[in-house]
Amino acid sequence: MEKHLLEIKNLHVQYNTDEAVVHAVNGLSLTLDKGEALGIVGETGAGKSTTALSILKLLPDKVGEITEGSIVYDGIDIIKANNHTMREIRGAKITMIFQDPMSSLNPIMTIGEQIHEVLELHFPKMSAAEKDQKVDEILGLVGIQKTRKNEYPHQFSGGMKQRIGIAMALVAEPELLLADEPTTALDVTIQAQILQLMQELQKKYNTAMILITHDLGVVAEFCEKVAVVYAGEVIEQGTVEEVFTREKNHPYTTGLFNSIPDLTSDVERLIPIPGFMSDPTNLPEGCKFAERCPHCTERCRKEAPKLYEDGGHSIRCFLYETKGGQ
Amino acid sequence: MSKKIKKKTNLSNKSQLGMIVFRFSKNKLAMFGLAVIVILALLCVAAPLYIDYESVYQQSMADRFILPCAEHPLGTDQFGRDLFARIIYGGRISLLAGLVVVAMALVLGIVLGGIAGYYGGRIDNVIMRICDVFMAVPRMLLSMAVVAALGQGTFKMLIALSIAAFPGYARTVRASIMTLRNQEYVEAAKCCGTSSARIIFKHVVPNGLGPVIVSATLGLGGTILAIASLGFLGIGVASPTPEWGTILSENRANIRYYPYLGLVPGMFIAISVMCLNFIGDGLRDALDPRMKN
Amino acid sequence: MVKYIIKRILMLIPVIFGITLFIYVIMSLAPGDPATLILGPDATYEEILAKREELGLNDPILVRYFKYMAGVLHGDFGISWYNEYDVMGEFLNRIPNTLLLGLLSNAIVILVGIPLGIIAAVKQNGVIDYCTLVLAMLFSSMPAFWFGLMAQIFFCLNLGWFPATGAESLKHFILPAVTLASASLAGQVRLTRTSMLEVNKLDYVRTARAKGCSESRIVIRHVLRNGLLPVVTSIGAHIATIVGGAIVTESVFAIPGVASLMINAVKIRDVPVVMGVIVVISVFVGVVNLLVDLLYAVIDPRVKLGS
């Protein structure tokens, strides 16, 4: 079996709040190879960001807890890794672009300093001049004039701040980039620019990327593989081609497709998915989508389906049951 | 963003007020503070039932400096007066005076802050500049200056303290109203055709009142301290009327040899102020759970 | 910057006029004729009339007020009605004591309070955190004069470590400064702690973690500087608390400062002295607040002065 760059197996994460225990991720498994772009799709609260934060072990202190499973990055067991190892990974090997560029930059450090800090942390031997040059270079790549590096975040627009976030994430030329809804907080016109910029740089540095989004269109355009996440587990995964040809889909994925407008079909109204996602403090026993599923049977309510694989394409639904489910 | 989905399973069926009460009741310090204050207040209110009013003022040279004993639970002072009786009757004055000051300052603050926040513009500007004027000198100093002007006396002191305290409340009220006026949920409620009375009582009051109640509770503690300080300096409640600060001031010369004369009144002040602060903090957390950390 | 400072000073002027006018007017409207009070019950009618003339009490209130303020602008704060000393001269004698007391206690608040707050935040729920929490609650509830009295009896009279009263040497100021600092110190610790924890929850701190910063680097480079912003603002408020607290502290430790001058003046309604204290303190507080705002602008690039 070939070695993957990142392998997540049966990940369980929960948040222990004052009022209840929230099961955010429930047995999620993923693999990612070098240079590959994977899109994680799902609605708010599905556990997408939690998964990304778990990879960097940045879950909120004392509240977020990985209870089960493993995350192996390049042969390193992330869950068991000590702080020192994690610090060497963060910012250098695995980097992250956050959802809200407005609040993700330190307001009282210049943007140059903030990018520079990554180099200071991970390339202690690099000369000062070299670091400065690197900062200028990456600013150029993300389309910000290097003369502006002594300015503070509040002097930039939202799109510009996200460019700075990208510069910070890529200046150390990481192997894996986690992009957590990087364009959700931005204007639609800027979204495409930012995503294209990310894709260009990802290809340039041959960085693997996990793009978290709730937008299927974005995945189709920027990723090779896709994982659909529902209530903290992968319910469908495969290549973009396999999933988007829509020959075989999980009922939830079908629902997602039906709820986005499509210029080529004659459907006059969008069909929303009825109901709400299951309560993560009180998850159902069987299939977590059962309550909202048009194909739901008695069995779905009692027994949780496994991921049934067909080639590279796997779906967590009894409709596609084969012998060896995972 | 799939981060925290806070689900208040056991709270979801309670009203907003119910939830505030519930959260407050779970705060041990706040409940402790509330219990102590209630007991103290009851002791003070019921004082005439179990303490002979005479013993507050009755001087008896034969009974000077009796250490705490069964007959005099907290001992007696240099004039042979029962310290327990003086402290309990003093509590009536300290607590009541504190309440009166906060109430007067609050009324003035709510009216002025409400007008400023609601109308905005020039009226707001004028009122806020007036507040600036009264906040230009520290509260303690301003109250002293007003006492100097009005002359000494308990009621005059209360007025002085209210004048020094109201700008703070006016600002809090104004800020609350200003933020609420532009809140999206208020806009949303308007769009839904909700009546203005309902908007005011369902949305604005519960959300805007919070900071005011909290600052009033915390302000009550501060006011009791200020009254005691003025009493101690000899420009507040005048001896022989018992008030906690005044009692300390009376006994000042004898504290070295009879420490209980200093310890006890000070502890009554400290404990009641601390408990009021516990209640204030608890209310703040209960009203706005996000502020808790 | 210069423009902003000038603007702020110009804004301070009406505030100072407002507060002094308010105090002046209510003091003048108070019942009882000052001349009669000063001269006592034995004075003759002629003597009283002469005194009224001397004090300028025959002019309308506003005229008197503007005459007084004109004097103040020339550095003439008038003469005490009762003890006949020059108010400005007496101030100059006493201000060093009050300033020293204030500076010392403020230094304690800042130099002890901020580091303790940082430790409490870093070791959240640790021993120091709980200790400061309990002490903060105790000290902020205690009357400063009571704390001062108790400390005076214990450390000065019983242990004899410090002189109990007076202002002859620096040693005389240690206990008063600690007393004065006690209430603000605890608050400062809590404020620093809360502010640090608040900042620690923010997205950009998570960004810093994602970059691979060590915890100590996060505290020093990212949390501390941002967390100190509200702390700086609070220093302005502390000054006000300290001025108020100085009054009782000076009284407990018998320090001949401006505050104790005020207490006597209030008791006998000595208008020039009370007015003088109000003028000096309001200017002082206004200037301190201006300095705090300037400091804030220096450490927070988002603050634009003048807007």
Residues of chain A with a CB closer than 8 angstroms to some CB in chain C: 56, 58, 83, 86-92, 95-96, 98, 100, 103-109, 117-118, 121-122, 152, 154, 165, 168
- What's the number of CA atoms in the CB half-sphere (13 Å) around residue B179? 11
Query: Which chains lie within 8 Å of chain C at 3 or more CB pairs, if any?
Result: A, B
Contact by Cβ (8 Å): C48, C36: yes
Contact by Cβ (8 Å): A314, A238: yes
Contact B266 C149 (CB under 8 A): yes
Mean pLDDT score, C161-173: 83
Query: Which chains lie within 8 Å of chain B at 3 or more CB pairs, if any?
Result: A, C
**Which residue would you say has higher pLDDT here, B238 or A237?**
A237
Is B2 part of the contact surface with chain A (CB cutoff 8 Å)? Answer: yes
Delineate the domains of chain C, giving CATH numbers in brackets: 2-73 (no CATH), 87-299 (1.10.3720.10)
Look at residue A52 and tell me whether its pLDDT is greater than 80. Answer: yes
Contact A20 B11 (CB under 8 A): no
Rounded to a whole number of angstroms, the distance from the CA of C245 to the nearest CA of chain B is 8
- CA-to-CA distance for C174 and C166, rounded, in angstroms? 11
Chain C residue closest in CA terms to B149: C27
**Confidence (pTM):** 0.77
Predicted pLDDT of residue B281: 86
The radius of gyration of chain B from alpha carbons, rounded to an integer in Å, stands at: 23
3-class DSSP assignment, residue C101: helix
Predicted pLDDT of residue A324: 58
Predicted pLDDT of residue B254: 85
Look at residue A121 and tell me whether its pLDDT is greater than 60. Answer: yes
The tokens describing A8, both together, are 């997540």
Please give the backbone phi and psi of residue A206, each rounded to the nearest 5 degrees, phi first: 50, 45
Predicted pLDDT of residue B209: 77
> Tell me: the pLDDT tens digits for C93-129?
998 998 899 889 989 998 998 898 888 888 888 888 8
CA C281 to chain CA centroid, Å, is 8
- CA-to-CA distance for C213 and A176, rounded, in angstroms? 18
Residue of C203, C214, C222 with shortest CB distance to A98: C203
Mean pLDDT score, C279-297: 87
3-class DSSP assignment, residue A61: coil
Strand duo A6-16 + A64-73: pairing? antiparallel
**B contacts of C198 (beta carbons < 8 Å):** 293
A–B: how many Cβ contacts below 8 A?
46
Task: For the beta carbon of residue C284, count every other beta carbon within 10 angstroms.
Answer: 17
Chain C residue closest in CA terms to A87: C212
Residue-wise over B121-148: b if at least 16 C-beta within 10 A, else e? Answer: eeebeebbebbbbbbbbbbbbbbbbbbb
Please give the backbone phi and psi of residue A233, each rounded to the nearest 5 degrees, phi first: -135, 155
Task: For the beta carbon of residue B42, count every other beta carbon within 10 angstroms.
Answer: 10
DSSP state of C79: B
Contact by Cβ (8 Å): C147, C179: yes
Residue of A22, A48, A184 with shortest CB distance to B5: A22
Contact A282 B1 (CB under 8 A): no
Strand order, beta sheet including A76-77: A21-32, A6-16, A64-73, A76-77
Predicted pLDDT of residue C304: 73
Contact A107 C204 (CB under 8 A): yes
Residue of C138, C143, C153 with shortest CB distance to B229: C143
- CA-to-CA distance for C84 and C107, rounded, in angstroms? 36
Residue of B138, B229, B277 with shortest CB distance to C240: B138
Contact by Cβ (8 Å): A90, C212: yes
Is C203 part of the contact surface with chain A (CB cutoff 8 Å)? Answer: yes
Contacts 24+ apart (CB under 8 A), C174-178: C174/C104, C175/C148, C175/C151, C175/C253, C176/C101, C176/C105, C176/C148, C176/C249, C176/C250, C176/C252, C176/C253, C176/C255, C177/C101, C177/C104, C177/C105, C177/C108, C178/C105, C178/C108, C178/C151
Distances in Å between the Cα of C189 and the Cα atoms of B101, B275, C111, C124 are 29, 20, 10, 13
**Which residue would you say has higher pLDDT here, A3 or C22?**
C22
The tokens describing B66, both together, are 């009796």
Strand duo A308-310 + A313-315: pairing? antiparallel
| Three-state SS annotation for A195-210 | HHHHHHHHHHHCCEEE
% of chain C beyond a pLDDT of 90:
8
Contact C204 A165 (CB under 8 A): no
Confidence of residue C185 (pLDDT cuts 50, 70, 90): confident
| Three-state SS annotation for C61-77 | HHHHHHHHHHHHHCCCC
Helices (H), chain C: 2-29, 34-39, 45-55, 61-73, 87-122, 127-141, 144-151, 170-200, 203-211, 215-217, 225-252, 258-268, 271-299
- CA-to-CA distance for C39 and C50, rounded, in angstroms? 11
Look at residue A132 and tell me whether its pLDDT is greater than 90. Answer: yes
Residue of A58, A105, A154 with shortest CB distance to C210: A58
Predicted pLDDT of residue A54: 93
Contact A46 B5 (CB under 8 A): no
Predicted pLDDT of residue B289: 62
Residue-by-residue DSSP string for A277-311: PPPTTS--SS-TTGGG-TT--HHHHHS---PEEET
Contact C143 B266 (CB under 8 A): yes
Rounded to a whole number of angstroms, the distance from the CA of C16 to the nearest CA of chain B is 7
3-class DSSP assignment, residue C181: helix
> Tell me: the pLDDT tens digits for A188-224?
888 888 899 889 989 988 999 999 998 888 898 899 9
Chain A residue closest in CA terms to C202: A103
Is A49 part of the contact surface with chain B (CB cutoff 8 Å)? Answer: yes
DSSP state of C221: I
Contact A91 C211 (CB under 8 A): yes
Is B8 part of the contact surface with chain A (CB cutoff 8 Å)? Answer: yes
Is A24 part of the contact surface with chain B (CB cutoff 8 Å)? Answer: yes
- CA-to-CA distance for C144 and C224, rounded, in angstroms? 30
Mean pLDDT score, A226-231: 92
> Tell me: the pLDDT tens digits for B221-249?
989 999 999 988 888 888 788 899 899 88
Predicted pLDDT of residue A263: 67
> Tell me: the pLDDT tens digits for A135-177?
999 999 888 998 999 999 999 998 899 999 999 998 999 999 9
Chain C residue closest in CA terms to A97: C207
Rounded to a whole number of angstroms, the distance from the CA of B33 to the nearest CA of chain A is 23
> In chain B, what is the greatest distance between 2 CA atoms, to the nearest angstrom?
78
- CA-to-CA distance for C248 and C267, rounded, in angstroms? 15
DSSP state of B76: B
Give the contacts of C202 (CB within 8 A, at least 6 positions apart): A103, C226
% of chain A beyond a pLDDT of 90:
42
Low-confidence ranges of chain B (pLDDT < 70): 1-14, 200-201, 203-206, 289-293
- CA-to-CA distance for C307 and C289, rounded, in angstroms? 17
Is C225 part of the contact surface with chain A (CB cutoff 8 Å)? Answer: yes
Rounded to a whole number of angstroms, the distance from the CA of A22 to the nearest CA of chain B is 7
Strand partners, A30: A8
Mean pLDDT score, C206-232: 88
DSSP state of B234: T
Look at residue A41 and tell me whether its pLDDT is greater than 80. Answer: yes
- What's the number of CA atoms in the CB half-sphere (13 Å) around residue C126? 11
3-class DSSP assignment, residue A40: strand
**Which residue would you say has higher pLDDT here, C56 or A108?**
A108
Mean pLDDT score, A286-290: 87
Residue of B228, B255, B293 with shortest CB distance to C149: B255
- CA-to-CA distance for C136 and C142, rounded, in angstroms? 10
Predicted pLDDT of residue B7: 42
Chain A residue closest in CA terms to C223: A106
Predicted pLDDT of residue B206: 65
Rounded to a whole number of angstroms, the distance from the CA of B198 to the nearest CA of chain C is 34
Predicted pLDDT of residue B119: 79
Predicted pLDDT of residue B5: 43
Q: Which residue, chain included where needed, has tokens 């103040």?
A: C72
Look at residue C159 and tell me whether its pLDDT is greater than 90. Answer: no
The tokens describing B245, both together, are 């600060």
Chain A residue closest in CA terms to C221: A109
Residue of C157, C263, C274 with shortest CB distance to B233: C263
Task: For the beta carbon of residue B151, count every other beta carbon within 10 angstroms.
Answer: 12
